Amino acid sequence: MGRCAVDHPPVDLLRGTLDLLILKALTGGPEHGYGVARWIERATKGALQIEEGSLYPALHRLEDRGQIAADWGVSDNNRRARFYQLTPEGRRRLKRETVNWTRFARAVFAALEATPRMLQAEA
Amino acid sequence: MGEPFWRRYQRFFHADVARDVDQELRYHLDRLTEDEMTRAGNPREARARAEARFGDVAAIRDSLAKTGSRRIRKALRADLRDAVLQDARYALRRLRQEPGFAVTVLLVLGLGIGAATAMFSAVDAALLRPIPFERPDRLLELPQVGIPFQPEAGERESGPRVPDLLDIRDMPDVFEQVAGYAAGGLNLSDPDHPVRVNAGIVTAEFFATLGVRPAWGRGFVTEEGVPGAPRVAVLSDGLWRRQFGSGPVLGHSITLNNRQYTVIGIMPPGFSFPSESDLWIPMTVPTTFETFEPFRGWLPSQVIARVRDGVSVEAAAARSLARWEQVASTPGQTAPPWLSQQTAEFRRTGAAIPLQRDLAGSRRTALLVLLGATGLLLLIACANVTHLLLSRASTRAREMAMRTVLGATRGRLLRQLLTESVMLGVGAAALGLAVAPLALRLTNALMPPALAGLAPPRVDLRVLGFAVGIAVITSLVFGLWPAFTSARTDAAETIKSGGRGATAGGAGRARRLLVAGELALTLVLLVGAGLMLRSFERLVRTDSGLHPERVATLELSFALSAGGRAARLPVIDAALQRLAGAPGVEAAGAVNDLPLRGGPGVLSITFQPEGRAQSANEEPLFARYLICSGSYFRALGIPLLQGRTFTTADDSLAPHVAIVNATMARTLWPEGSPLGRVLRLPPHRPGGEPTPYRVVGVVGDVRETGIERDAGLQMYFPMYAETPANVALVARGTLPPAALLGLLREAVRSANPTQPVYNVRMMEDVVSASIAPRRINTMLISAFGALALILAALGVYGVVAYSVSQRMRELGIRAALGATGDRLVRLIAGEMLWVAILAVALGLAGAWASARVLRSLLYGVTVRDPGTYAVALLVLLVTLAAGTLWPARRALRLNPMDVIRAD
């Protein structure tokens, strides 16, 4: 259980989380950066406060790794915007990371639920 | 992969990454601003709130632009790689479809590149690659600078004073370190088998001057470089492993020429300077009588110096010359003619030579000439490959036209064709590199002897780089023209004319020009090869004055401390007696210096023929000082022309006698018999009277220092009267070589089992080794000439055959109109007439201009030898005629109707 935390130090964890959210946002179809930001806002009910600008380095990095593909298109208000969409590779990563993330979250959760006495009993 | 290909290219060509990023971010900010408008009062406030939600716009934009352009560069590179790979695969497929063509090109170019690469590695080792000393470009050799000698009691210096080591050491502002060294030989005692070792006799500063340090122990210190100091030695890594089994030797004592030396150091592997030294012992300054022991009566010493930092090598050379002039013109000293000549020579060539250049010595010219020859050969090979590619281009015109029609751009076709050339070039380089090590074995004999063991030629990264470099350059040289011709093809014309292409007319003339150049280069090589062959022929026909067949030899050296003549003579006498009595031995003798053995040889000494007054400013007469047994002349086949040879009765108690060679007899006594004349030699003891010697015989001249050098004046003295420390035994016999050599060894062993022998070999091998560099040189340049001739013949054939095939239709019509076959052949051959004229004019001019560099390599012929030029010209013209007439004959067998119908 503890291995998970060792393998993913906090900084990576955060970045990985953002990647995961972006990938998830794109499962609904091609979307531009602004749209991704809105989806995250809606989906987390505004709980996650991120600077929207930090989405772009993540988007470009994911594009670079071939997990999403980008292309210029026309937005709903008829303006030129850059649209991103999931590639099969991105889809695979989303699936993998979702499993990992769920296990990690459960583990942390379980630990927070536990009382200090339980640990002493085991020792 | 996911996006359509045109989009990738659109991105490359409008790769304004920053603008893309700006646009993308602006869209987001605009949308955010619109959202905020509902909450904010005015657009400015809305914008500010949007930017606050977005974060640091400028920083994000910069970082995105940076990573974006990096990504595009990467993508471009990958694209290029893909394209090159694709071209390469296509080229490979094409070449596999025409194996004959590919193999021909690979062979022709591979041989050319292989020859050039092998010669380059030799030149690299001898001339270019720095010798393995610290900053070797700062090391100068100071010719004619001697080592001071400590005179024996009562002896006094004779002759004019010239600069010595101390004078150079006296210039600390110019030279940081000064050292003297000489390469000699010593006997290393060993209970099992005593051996002869190469010894470097070096001043204490030698290792420091070169900037090398022992791997174990230490080098010499100043106190060990003065007379009377304790005897110490430094071993080479090779000797330490070979003779001492890599065991502990530091502090142990070894015996060299019966004297004990303490081993104080071992040099690192690979260091064996000078002359493949096995060990080093100090040369004392001043030198003493003992210093001369490893040599043959004189000290072949060299002085080197390291130029101080901040002083240019040129300035150091100028200061050395000034020093030489200053010492040579010491007041009260009348300069003899040789000294003024030497000074004048130094004013022309400099009184200091870069060490590396000095070590390369006279081999420099030979190596550079051969490298140049391989360069010419490579050019000829390139010209031939160009012919092949051009012929192929005309047959591929249809393919090119098709591809143009299908949308390939000219640039694309050009790149494709050049890829093919470069692949051929690289393939040829690989083949060449495989051939080069074989050729390298030959070039070993060409390496400067002073660099032996120091800088072995090898195929290393530099050589590899050279081979790949010339492969790429040559493939561009031979590939560009055909590629342009092909890519320029007019598609519509070609397809209309049934694929013959519209390139024929102009290309024919250009190709004849190319073949003329090829023939001209070949003529240059042929003249060079011819001159070298004639020189070599003259050389082997030269009478060396001895008959080396069926003669075995070996050499031995006596330690001075083992006793003088009284100790040496019994050993030689016993060995000679034993040999004389052995069945199968016709004659056996001994001499102090074996002819043609290589190395510095024995001293020439002054003498004064009696009854001939010497005028004051006449140069003293010098003659080689040879000591031999009476049977030596018969053993080596040197004819006795007058008088008698020595006998065992000519010992130290008998009257002094001498034998002179024919040249000496003729020079000194042009009239009357030389027999009974008297020569006066310098006194044996300092301050004594000159010793008179009576001439009792005259023998034939022996070219003992090199077959190409005149024998000069030679004097022989009886070995039973004075026995030298260095002796060569010679035995002529009817036994097979191995048995004869074994007999020689056995004779010495039975006389003294602890006496080491060396250079055990047949006399024919000695002679052969003395001319080996010239033989290899001649062989290589002749081989290059022959290859060039074959390539040129193929080139001519190709051009004429091409011309005939292009003009088939015209020739057919002419034949139909009644032209005879003769006339048609003349028509074809006529095209080659001006090729011949141009080639001969260019070739002769080139040969004439370049033959000068061969001058120092020639023997017995001049660089303008008319016979050689005539033969080379004849060979070239016959080749040209054969190459022309062979394909032209096709015109004779022409059936006019077939040709015309073929269209």
Task: List Cα–Cα distances, B532 to B321, B369, B535, B853, in angstroms.
Answer: 37, 11, 5, 12
Calpha distance B456→B279 (Å, rounded): 20
Indicate the pLDDT class of residue B477, thresholds 50, 70 and 90.
Answer: confident
Model pLDDT, residue B596: 92
Chain B hits for A60, Cβ within 8 Å: 64, 67-68, 71
Residue that the structure tokens 């502090």 belong to: B251
B218 touches chain A (CB under 8 A): no
If one compares B688 and B707, the residue with the highest pLDDT of the two is B707
Give me the half-sphere count of Cα atoms (radius 13 Å) on the Cβ side of residue B441.
4
Nearest CA in chain B to A89: B2
Residue pair B487/B402 in contact (Cβ under 8 Å)? The answer is no
Chain B hits for A64, Cβ within 8 Å: 67, 71
Q: Which domain holds residue A48?
A: 2-122
Q: pLDDT by residue (tens digit) across B110-162? A: 888 888 888 888 888 888 888 889 999 999 998 888 888 876 655 555 667 77
Residue that the structure tokens 């006795």 belong to: B640
Task: List Cα–Cα distances, B153 to A38, B157, B285, B679, in angstroms.
Answer: 111, 11, 17, 27
Whether residue A1 has pLDDT greater than 60: no
Minimal CA–CA distance to B792: which of B372, B479, B384? B384
Q: At what angle do helices B737-751 and B565-581 cross, to 10 degrees?
A: 140
Calpha distance B798→B303 (Å, rounded): 59
Q: pLDDT by residue (tens digit) across B711-730? A: 889 999 999 998 888 899 99
Q: pLDDT by residue (tens digit) across B282-320? A: 998 888 877 777 776 677 888 999 999 999 999 999 998
A46 touches chain B (CB under 8 A): no
Q: pLDDT by residue (tens digit) across B818-846? A: 777 788 888 888 888 888 999 999 999 99
The amino acid at B767: V
B827 touches chain A (CB under 8 A): no
- Min Cα distance B75 → chain A (Å) is 10
Whether residue A74 has pLDDT greater than 90: no
Q: pLDDT by residue (tens digit) across A43-53? A: 888 777 678 88
Please judge whether A34 and B27 are an interchain contact, meaning their C-beta atoms are less than 8 angstroms apart: yes
CA angle B21, B25, B29 (to 5 degrees): 165
Minimal CA–CA distance to B371: which of B776, B40, B781? B781
Calpha distance B222→B238 (Å, rounded): 26
Residue pair A116/A95 in contact (Cβ under 8 Å)? The answer is no
A32 touches chain B (CB under 8 A): yes
Task: List Cα–Cα distances, B510 to B157, B396, B516, in angstroms.
Answer: 74, 19, 10
B60 touches chain A (CB under 8 A): yes
Please judge whether B2 and A69 are an interchain contact, meaning their C-beta atoms are less than 8 angstroms apart: yes
Please judge whether A82 and B57 are an interchain contact, meaning their C-beta atoms are less than 8 angstroms apart: no
Looking only at the bridges linking them, the beta strands covering B604-609 and B621-628 are antiparallel
Calpha distance B743→B738 (Å, rounded): 9
If one compares B115 and B392, the residue with the highest pLDDT of the two is B115
Model pLDDT, residue B449: 77
Model pLDDT, residue B323: 87
Residue B696 tokens read as: 């009792």
If one compares B857 and B715, the residue with the highest pLDDT of the two is B715
Torsion (CA) A79, A84, A85, A91 in degrees, nearest 10 = -160
Q: How many residues does chain B have?
A: 903
Calpha distance B683→B763 (Å, rounded): 35
Model pLDDT, residue A23: 92
SS (H, E, C) B839-877: HHHHHHHHHHHHHHHHHHHCCCCCCCCHHHHHHHHHHHH
Indicate the pLDDT class of residue B5, thresholds 50, 70 and 90.
Answer: very low
Nearest CA in chain A to B4: A71
Whether residue B902 has pLDDT greater than 80: no
Please judge whether A56 and B56 are an interchain contact, meaning their C-beta atoms are less than 8 angstroms apart: no
Minimal CA–CA distance to B109: which of B380, B335, B297? B380
Please judge whether B54 and A53 are an interchain contact, meaning their C-beta atoms are less than 8 angstroms apart: yes
Chain A hits for B10, Cβ within 8 Å: none
Calpha distance A20→A2 (Å, rounded): 22
DSSP B133: S
Whether residue B15 has pLDDT greater than 70: no
Please judge whether B32 and A52 are an interchain contact, meaning their C-beta atoms are less than 8 angstroms apart: yes
Residue B350: Cβ within 10 Å count: 16
Please judge whether A56 and B24 are an interchain contact, meaning their C-beta atoms are less than 8 angstroms apart: yes
Whether residue B616 has pLDDT greater than 70: no
Residue B105 tokens read as: 């090109």
- Min Cα distance B44 → chain A (Å) is 19
Indicate the pLDDT class of residue A13, thresholds 50, 70 and 90.
Answer: very low
- Residue A77 CB partners (closer than 8 Å, separation 6+): none
Answer left, alpha or beta for residue B271, where phi above 0 means left and psi between -120 and 50 means alpha.
Answer: beta
Following DSSP, what letter does each residue of B641-687 receive, concatenated?
EEE----TT-STTSPPEEEEEHHHHHHH-SSS--TT-EEEE--SSTT
Residue A29 tokens read as: 């179809």
Q: Which of A52, A64, A80 sits opposite B28 (nearest CB)?
A: A52
Whether residue B251 has pLDDT greater than 50: yes
B509 touches chain A (CB under 8 A): no
Write down the domain spans for chain B.
Answer: 5-94, 143-351, 363-541+772-901, 559-754
A76 touches chain B (CB under 8 A): no
Residue pair B175/B306 in contact (Cβ under 8 Å)? The answer is yes
Indicate the pLDDT class of residue B108, thresholds 50, 70 and 90.
Answer: confident
Cα B605 to the chain's mean position, in Å?
Answer: 34
List the helix and strand counts (H, then E) for chain A: 6, 3
Give me the half-sphere count of Cα atoms (radius 13 Å) on the Cβ side of residue B481.
19
CA angle B214, B218, B219 (to 5 degrees): 80
Whether residue B13 has pLDDT greater than 60: no
Produce one character per residue of B219-252: b if its CB has 16 or more CB atoms within 10 Å, e if not. bbeeebbeeeeeebbbbbbbbbeebbeeeebeee
Residue pair B16/B63 in contact (Cβ under 8 Å)? The answer is no
Looking only at the bridges linking them, the beta strands covering A31-32 and A80-86 are antiparallel
E strand or H helix at B785: helix B772-806
E strand or H helix at A11: helix A10-25
Residue that the structure tokens 């030269």 belong to: B542
Please judge whether B24 and A79 are an interchain contact, meaning their C-beta atoms are less than 8 angstroms apart: no
Task: Give me the CATH number covering residue A65.
Answer: 1.10.10.10
Whether residue B513 has pLDDT greater than 90: no
Q: pLDDT by residue (tens digit) across B158-179? A: 667 778 888 888 889 999 999 9
Residue pair B141/B349 in contact (Cβ under 8 Å)? The answer is no
Model pLDDT, residue B600: 67
**Residues forming a β-bridge with B732:** B551, B587
Model pLDDT, residue B883: 87
Share of chain B above pLDDT 90, in %: 31
Residue pair B704/B613 in contact (Cβ under 8 Å)? The answer is no
DSSP B128: I
Indicate the pLDDT class of residue B414, thresholds 50, 70 and 90.
Answer: confident
If one compares B359 and B902, the residue with the highest pLDDT of the two is B359
The amino acid at A80: R
Q: pLDDT by residue (tens digit) across B781-807? A: 999 999 899 988 888 888 888 788 777
B22 touches chain A (CB under 8 A): no
Most confident among B63-67, B373-377, B500-504, B729-733 (mean pLDDT) = B729-733
Calpha distance B668→B665 (Å, rounded): 6
Give me the half-sphere count of Cα atoms (radius 13 Å) on the Cβ side of residue B446.
34
Nearest CA in chain A to B56: A53
Please judge whether B54 and A32 are an interchain contact, meaning their C-beta atoms are less than 8 angstroms apart: no
Q: What is the mean pLDDT of residues A18-25?
A: 90
Indicate the pLDDT class of residue A117, thresholds 50, 70 and 90.
Answer: low
Model pLDDT, residue B6: 45
For chains A and B, count residue pairs whose Cβ atoms are closer than 8 Å. 58
Calpha distance A107→A4 (Å, rounded): 9
Model pLDDT, residue B215: 93
Model pLDDT, residue A11: 40
Whether residue B702 has pLDDT greater than 90: yes
Calpha distance B286→B603 (Å, rounded): 20
Q: What is the mean pLDDT of residues B850-856?
A: 84
Q: What is the mean pLDDT of residues B63-87?
A: 83
Residue B856: Cβ within 10 Å count: 11
Calpha distance B892→A105 (Å, rounded): 95
Mutate which of B6, B23, B31, B33 to disrupt the A interface (most A C-beta within 10 Å)?
A: B31
- Min Cα distance B7 → chain A (Å) is 9
Task: List Cα–Cα distances, B395 to A18, B491, B804, B806, B884, in angstroms.
Answer: 62, 14, 14, 11, 22
Share of chain B above pLDDT 70, in %: 91
Model pLDDT, residue A3: 37
If one compares B91 and B647, the residue with the highest pLDDT of the two is B647
Q: At what angle do helices B772-806 and B410-443 cross, to 10 degrees?
A: 150
Whether residue B542 has pLDDT greater than 70: yes
Q: How many residues does chain A have?
A: 123
Q: Which of B3, B25, B31 sits opposite A71 (nearest CB)?
A: B3
Task: List Cα–Cα distances, B531 to B53, B362, B363, in angstroms.
Answer: 90, 18, 18
Calpha distance B207→B277 (Å, rounded): 13
Nearest CA in chain A to B52: A51
Residue B671 tokens read as: 């009239």
Backbone φ, ψ for residue B724 (5° rounding): -75, 165
Radius of gyration for the alpha carbons in chain A, expressed in angstroms and rounded:
18
The amino acid at B32: L
Q: What is the mean pLDDT of residues B19-24?
A: 86
Indicate the pLDDT class of residue B439, thresholds 50, 70 and 90.
Answer: confident
* Sheet strands (E) in B428-584: 551-557
- Min Cα distance B510 → chain A (Å) is 52
The domain tally of chain A equals 1
Q: What is the mean pLDDT of residues B359-383?
A: 88
If one compares B33 and A6, the residue with the highest pLDDT of the two is B33
Residue pair B46/B30 in contact (Cβ under 8 Å)? The answer is no
Q: Which of A57, A79, A87 sits opposite B27 (nearest CB)?
A: A79
Residue pair B700/B661 in contact (Cβ under 8 Å)? The answer is yes
Looking only at the bridges linking them, the beta strands covering B585-591 and B726-733 are antiparallel
Backbone φ, ψ for residue A66 (5° rounding): 80, 15
- Min Cα distance B10 → chain A (Å) is 12
- Min Cα distance A67 → chain B (Å) is 11
Calpha distance A58→A40 (Å, rounded): 14
Model pLDDT, residue A5: 36
Please judge whether A80 and B27 are an interchain contact, meaning their C-beta atoms are less than 8 angstroms apart: yes
Indicate the pLDDT class of residue B1, thresholds 50, 70 and 90.
Answer: very low
Whether residue B577 has pLDDT greater than 80: yes
Model pLDDT, residue A113: 83
Model pLDDT, residue B601: 66
